[in-house]
Structure 1
Amino acid sequence: MVESTHRTPSTHSDIELSPLPRSTTPAQSLKEEGELSSTLGREPSSLPPSLYSRPSSPFDQPSTRVAVALPPTDGGRAAYTFLLGAFLIEALVWGFPFSFSNFQAYYLAPDGPYPKDQGLITLTGTLSSGVTYMSALAIFPVLERKPRWRRPCLYIGFVTLIAGLTGSGFAKSPAILVLTQGLLFSLGGSILYAPVISYMHEWWVRRTGFAYGVITAGTSISGIVFPFIIEALLRRFGSGPTLWGLGLVLFVLIGSLLPYIKGRLPDPPRTQEARREAPPQAFDYSFFTRRKFWILWLANLFQALGYFLPTLFISLYAAKVDEGNASLGSISLATINATAIISRVSFGSLSDNPKFTLPLIILSCVGSGVSVLLIWGLGASTTPGLIGFSAAFGVFSGGFSSLWAAMIREVGVQSPAQAATLYGIFSFGRGLGSVLGAPISTVLLNSSPLPINYGMGEYGKLIVFTGTSLVVAGMIGGSAGGWKLKSSARRD
């Protein structure tokens, strides 16, 4: 039966009214009026977070769309469950690279397996974190365009990471360690970690700084525990059994967490008709033309040049401070990670307020740089001095990565998918700084020591380079505020 059209008189003109089809829902009527204009699977900013429209099956026509209730953002049981899972994934994936100083001390010890291969062992430690950061530049844009690939990437990265860790236990040369513990482990970690960050931007929208802080605190937690576990295992069993056992533990723990790492929003539809109705959003690359982006990216690069070296060499340095205390290196590394928890969570939470972003960048970089130049260089030749430096360095430097969400906001990117991609670009800069630090540190350590008693002589030039890089990072980051004021004055 065809429904007839009704005409209602009006003082100005006749208005034609037509009833909605019986299958139409309130969510569909909003969509037909243009209020649900967005790629399916991407939540439009004008739509309340609890309502979302999608086909009830791949064969449904647009007239049979149903309303789907979504869990809330920035809080609630589902958001915090995801945050806990992401925190634990962070702890397990990043705990090993940030505890590599223990492996390095074992490999390079006079009675260790590779006492004369400092260059390759340092490269292994650098790659174990650097590749994880740098490969994000390629992975995040792919996931932004192919969000359905995020879940398979979790398992591909998981298998690759386990293969790299356990495979390094069979290594008979430092070159094999570079390929397994350095390259393969970190590549798997990056593929596994990227979907976690992508999903995070769906769950946490207004409190992304807080979420970043909590997630990155996972690295600090594992950095407190892992050094002592790894040191004890290496001392008792050697590198092979230690790496095999840790690979098994990670296989069980990460494998049990993956079901809880999932997105808040439904994936985009597969049908061609649905794709025509809601084509994928084009990625906006305009931020590459903004000077503030390049200022913050360079600050991030220089911060990375200085950030990784203390954690990489702290165990070797501790052995020279007190040769009779085999645990001093692990205690120093754990102190850095323990105090970093304070700044990771507090800096991240404070950065949700835009007025704190640039002051926190300056505080983190300059504060950590000064602690390197003064405390490590002049006062860390004793056990209390080394512990004091570790505490100061952790407090100031640890919170910098929690500021990435605020930096992304400063650049002007708002879309969750594009924010995740920009996270990958910042991550690449951090990885580049980490990788460049390996050859630079090798050259500095192999050069003639400073003529003064600074950094116990041998580490003097490395300390000067590290502290200077961090202070320069703070100066560059602070100039982003000056550019903002200059731009505002020009508009006026």
Structure 2
Amino acid sequence: MWHAAETKSPNLNEIKADDTLETAISSHDSPVDKGKCAFLYLLAMFTIETIVWGFATSFGVLFNFYQHDPRSPIKPDPNSKLILTLVGTINTGTIASAAPFFSFWMAKKPGIRRRLMLAGLLTCTLSLFLSAYSTSALHILLSQGIGYGIGGCALYYPALSHLPEWFELRQGFANGLVFTGTGIGGLVFPLVLNGLLGRYGAKLALQITAALFAVPIFFAIFLIHPRPPDRCQRQESATQSISSYEKQALPSSGNLFRKFYQCLTGVFWTYIFMNTIQSTAFYLPGLYLPTYIHCLGRGSVTGSALLSILNAGTIFAQLAAGVLSDHYSPFLIGLTANVLGGASVLTLWGALSQNGVGWLFVFSAVYGSTAGAWTSLYFGVLKHFVSDRELMFCAYGILAMTRGIGFILGGTISSELVSSTLTDPTQCNGFPKGPFSGLIWFTGLIFLSSGLLGSFLWIHFRPPSKTVQESCQIKNRGKRDTLSKC
């Protein structure tokens, strides 16, 4: 279990905890996969997912405002553009890449999770509020990029670490439902931000956003607590000394790292590599679609609408992939999503969008509904590599970290792929040659390559056919007969 408590006697009903709210054990069993407590956890986690990732994935709206709005506090120059391009990938990248540090820390000290969430909430809120007073791209990078990213990680991953405790058989469903929050946040936040920026400008808009961020998350944090041990575990624990219970619950750092190192097989490293390269391209359409629309001479409302449709598609993808991963191979679902996502980039955005903006709306829906499935498959994938619950979330942290590294690399690469002179609307949608064609080729080919790599993993983990199983059984039977004769 993630949680360990301090007590003066072996009776678990007399537990004196670090954090009373977090470690209270009810007199009734809290069922796994169902019940009021599991539902409240899902509601709270969904709220945090929606707000933390919803704002992070909507930076394209702010990016477009800082670049083109006359009221922007940022002076337009090539250096500012490069820094602002990095903000959108650094905030999501930092949230993801700092995950292993928090994961191993929580594995050693589970009682610290609520304090981490509150500290993360405070850091995110201050970062958003202070960014309202930014006068340079560097200020935006430090506040909305690095500050928000560190705070978001401290808030998000301690909350998510409770999910394997509350859901086991329906873990894919719970994972998918929670991750739809990213899509819903990405659907709502672009419209809200665009409306606030248009009406109030950057300063007041970000102050209002900070308040909208802080209040619901503050209440959500206090709905999250560890799942108490069931009746059988409590009866078993009552017969043991509490010191041995604590020794079991809190493995040494050496043992934890040694056990985790044993899970890092060559096949796992292959998946980690695929996860990293896929993430270099994943957020680029959402980051650049508002700028692409502005280049075509369309208003900011169209760009925000495209971003919202893309994120709405992600809602469907996350939920569908999460549910399907409870019944089918997550590797098969992942490779299908990557291939379809890459094909949509090259055909709908690249080739067909030259025939009209309507194809961009189709692209946003298709891309979100396919590429958006990836992260909801993580827990399903990790079951093939890790069986220990403590190590499960440490492994999740590694995937999140490499995904974050990919986000940052993708942002750096993309700034070199888009032409800095975007003035003629008739040239903006040129493909296969044009100011955005390098970005489109890069994104599409990365997704197709990830799909190809995923096909090898699917084949590796695919269960043997009935014919193979029967032949193995016959062979084993023959060996047993030979041994019996000897």
Report the counterpart of residue 228 of structure 1 in structure 2.
191
Per-residue deviation at 1:208? 1.4
1:39, distance to aligned residue in structure 2 (A): 9.0
Residues 139-194 of structure 1: CA deviation (Å, up to 9, x unaligned): 11110111011111111111011011111111111111110010101110100011
Aligned to 1:213: 176
1:205 aligned partner, one-letter code: E
Q: 1:259 to 1:448 in 2, by over 3 A?
A: closer
Q: Tell me how many residue pairs correspond in the alignment.
A: 434
Cα distance in 2, alignment partners of residues 289 and 486 from structure 1: 21
2:458 alignment partner in structure 1: 481
User: SS at 1:244's partner residue?
Assistant: helix
- Please report how far the alpha carbon of residue 342 of structure 1 lies from its aligned counterpart in structure 2 after TM superposition: 1.2
Give the CA deviation at 1:276. Answer: 3.6
After TM superposition, give the deviation of residue 254 of structure 1 in Å. Answer: 1.3
Q: In the aligned structure 2, how far is the partner of 1:415 from the partner of 1:288?
A: 10
Counterpart of 2:479 in structure 1 is none
- Alpha-carbon contact 2:2-2:107 (below 8 Å) kept: no
2:217 is the alignment partner of 1:254: yes
| Equivalent residue, structure 2, for 1:432 | 405
- The alignment partner of 2:329 has SS state of helix
Residue 471 (1) aligns with residue 448 (2): yes
- Tell me what 2:147 maps to: 184
| One of 414, 435, 459 as aligned partner of 2:436 | 459
Q: 2:379 aligns with which of 371, 396, 405?
A: 405
**What is the alpha-carbon root mean square deviation over aligned residues?**
3.0
Return the offset for 1:291.
Answer: 2.1
Q: How far apart, CA to CA, are the structure 2 residues paired with 1:306 and 1:399?
A: 14
Q: Is the 8 A contact 1:295 1:477 kept in 2?
A: no
Unaligned runs of 5+ in 2: 18-24, 473-486
Question: Identity of counterpart residues, as a percentage?
Answer: 28
CA distance in 2, matches of 1:277, 1:82: 26
- Which residue does the alignment assign to 1:89? 48
Q: Equivalents in 1 of 2:311, 2:116: separation in Å?
A: 29
- Alpha-carbon spacing, 1:53–1:417, altered in 2? closer, same or farther (3 Å): farther
Distance in 2 between residues matched to 1:219 and 1:258, nearest whole Å: 18
Matched, 1:107 2:70: no
**Contact 1:304 / 1:434 at 8 angstroms: preserved in 2?**
yes
Q: Matches of 1:448 and 1:472 in 2, distance apart? A: 30
**Distance 1:233-1:68 versus aligned 2 partners, 3 A rule:** same
Alignment-derived partner of residue 390 in structure 2: 417
Note if contact 2:281-2:447 (Cα within 8 Å) is conserved in structure 1: yes
Q: Which residue of 2 aligns with 1:442?
A: 415
After TM superposition, list the pairs within 5 Å mapping 1:84-483 onto structure 2: 84-109=43-68, 111=70, 112=72, 113-116=74-77, 117-265=80-228, 274-279=242-247, 280-281=250-251, 282-283=255-256, 284-321=259-296, 323-353=297-327, 355-381=328-354, 382-411=356-385, 413-446=386-419, 453-454=430-431, 457-483=434-460
How far residue 415 of structure 1 moved from its aligned partner, in angstroms, is: 2.8
The 1-side partners of 2:320 and 2:357 are apart by 28
Aligned-pair distance for 1:287? Answer: 4.6
User: Which has the larger share of helix?
Assistant: 2
For the structure 1 residues 452 and 445, does the alpha-carbon distance in structure 2 shift closer, same or farther, using more than 3 Å as the test?
closer
Residue by residue over 1:40-67, the C-alpha shift from the partner in whole angstroms, topping out at 9 and shown as x without a partner, is 749xxxxxxxxx97252459xxxxxx99
Offset of residue 481 of structure 1: 2.7
Closer/same/farther in 2, CA of residues 344 and 67 from structure 1, 3 Å limit: closer
**Per-residue Cα deviation, 1:205-263 (whole angstroms, up to 9, x for no partner):** 12211111111101111111111110111112111111111111222221122111222
2-structure distance, mates of 1:324, 1:369 = 25
Q: Using the TM superposition, give the Cα deviation of residue 484 of structure 1 relative to its aligned residue in structure 2, in angstroms.
A: 3.7
Tell me the distance in 1 between the aligned counterparts of 2:193 and 2:429: 35
Report the CA distance shift for 1:415/1:392 in structure 2 as closer, same or farther (over 3 A).
Answer: same
The letter of the residue matching 1:139 is: F
Q: Which has the larger radius of gyration?
A: 1
Point out where structure 1 has 5 or more consecutive residues left out of the alignment. 1-37, 43-51, 60-65
For 1:62, the equivalent position in structure 2 comes to: none
For 1:448 and 1:39, locate their aligned partners in 2 and report how far apart those are by CA, in whole Å.
Answer: 53
Per-residue CA distance 1:408-452 (angstroms, 9 max, x = gap): 1121x1233221111111101111110001110111124899999
> Relative contact order (alpha carbons < 8 A, sep ≥ 6): 1 or 2 greater?
2
Counterpart-to-counterpart distance in 2, 1:451 and 1:144 = 50
Q: Distance in 2 between matches of 1:393 and 1:231?
A: 22
CA contact (8 A) 1:53 1:67 kept: no
The residue type equivalent to 1:274 in the other structure is: I
TM-score, normalised to structure 1, is 0.82
